[in-house]
């Protein structure tokens, strides 16, 4: 499974609906400073519900909504809503149809060759709202997290390696570093289960 496409609408510096293709194996995003490269990563963290643990660059959720006057500290009127959709290529059936149906709480999830995780944040005059969708079915964050965990994507996992993480990993004790490797290899899960079993 891999990210096939990212659709940003009114998210951070992306004031227009923008589709960004991702290729299997390797995709590089280049551009001048301030052109929005890191905002693309923020979009993935936001949509997949990994933002809190992986350090998205925004103080409030509503800071993620496109704001034309962002650099001048202005705040525009008009609609305040940002949407990000992560389109996952699931043609290899990393996630089975029944896993997707289960998470969506509905049979009506279409062809699961594609798994679309969408998040929307909406600001009203005195509040804000956050919504998640799975193949256009309204779901909770926990539904998304449980589903992604079955594909090996966990909030505390290393599917997203942030800038500071590299230095942190280099400076770790060999033991802590080993724990990360176990985590990535999927062994840590079994260590935890083994410990539980021994404790019983
Ligand atoms: P660098 O090469 O320096 O790392 P980058 O390509 O990663 O740059 P980003 O950090 O992704 O750049 O983008 C920063 C830009 O996003 C800034 O110009 C900032 O004004 C803009 N930006 C951030 N939030 C918003 C927002 N809510 N509305 C409009 N623009 C925003
Ligand atoms: Mg950057």
Residues 68 and 89 both lie in one domain: yes
Other beta carbons within 10 Å of 51: 20
Going by C-alpha positions, the residue among 87, 99, 66 that lies closest to residue 133 is: 87
Ligand nearest to the CA of 32: 1
Give the pocket of ligand 1 (CB within 6 Å).
Answer: 12-13, 31, 33-39, 63, 65-67, 70-71
Going by C-alpha positions, the residue among 115, 144, 150, 123 that lies closest to residue 132 is: 144
Residues 121 and 165 both lie in one domain: no
Residues 35 and 119 both lie in one domain: yes
SS3 85: strand
- Predicted pLDDT at 200: 87
Other beta carbons within 10 Å of 32: 7
Alpha-carbon distance 181 to 178, whole Å?
5
Residues 72 and 119 both lie in one domain: yes
Residues 70 and 108 both lie in one domain: yes
Residues 63 and 15 both lie in one domain: yes
- Predicted pLDDT at 95: 97
ipTM above 0.85, yes or no: yes
Residues 168 and 147 both lie in one domain: no
Ligand nearest to the CA of 36: 1
Residues 28 and 52 both lie in one domain: yes
Going by C-alpha positions, the residue among 182, 62, 84 that lies closest to residue 128 is: 62
Alpha-carbon distance 69 to 91, whole Å?
41
Q: Which residue is it, tokens 């960004």? A: 20
Binding-site residue numbers for ATP are 32-39
Residues 177 and 120 both lie in one domain: no
Token pair in block for residue 116? 């679309």
What is the domain extent for residue 196?
161-200
Tell me how many domains the chain contains.
2
Alpha-carbon distance 102 to 82, whole Å?
27
- Predicted pLDDT at 79: 60
Helices then strands (H, E): number in the chain?
Answer: 7, 6
Q: Which residue is it, tokens 């609609």? A: 79
Mutate to test the pocket of ligand 1, among 39, 72, 84, 128 (most ligand atoms within 8 A of CB): 39
- Predicted pLDDT at 71: 81
Mutate to test the pocket of ligand 1, among 13, 14, 16, 59 (most ligand atoms within 8 A of CB): 13
- Predicted pLDDT at 56: 76
Distance (angstroms) between ligand 2 centre and the Cα of 39 equals: 7
Low-confidence stretches of the chain (pLDDT beneath 70): 53-54, 74-79
CATH number at residue 143: 3.40.50.300
Residues 116 and 45 both lie in one domain: yes
Residues 78 and 122 both lie in one domain: yes
- Predicted pLDDT at 192: 81
Residues 50 and 9 both lie in one domain: yes
- Predicted pLDDT at 34: 95
Residue with CA at minimum distance from ligand 1 atom 20: 71
């Amino acid at each position: 499974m891999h990210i096939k496409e990212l659709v940003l609408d009114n998210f951070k510096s992306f004031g227009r609906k923008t589709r960004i293709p991702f290729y299997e194996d390797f995709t590089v995003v280049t551009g001048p400073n301030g052109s929005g490269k890191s905002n693309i990563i923020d979009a993935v963290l936001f949509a997949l519900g990994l933002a809190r643990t992986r350090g998205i660059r925004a103080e409030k959720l509503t800071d993620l909504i496109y704001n034309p006057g962002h650099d001048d500290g202005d705040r525009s009127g008009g609609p305040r809503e940002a949407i990000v959709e992560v389109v996952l290529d699931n043609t290899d059936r990393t996630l089975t149809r029944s896993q997707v149906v289960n998470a969506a709480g509905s049979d009506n999830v279409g062809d699961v060759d594609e798994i679309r995780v969408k998040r929307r944040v909406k600001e009203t005059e005195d509040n804000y709202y956050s919504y998640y969708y799975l193949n256009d079915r309204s779901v909770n964050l926990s539904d998304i997290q449980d589903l992604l965990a079955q594909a090996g994507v966990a909030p505390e996992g290393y599917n997203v390696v942030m800038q500071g993480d590299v230095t942190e990993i280099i400076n770790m004790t060999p033991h802590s570093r080993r724990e990360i490797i176990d985590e990535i290899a999927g062994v840590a899960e079994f260590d935890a289960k083994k410990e539980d079993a021994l404790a019983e």
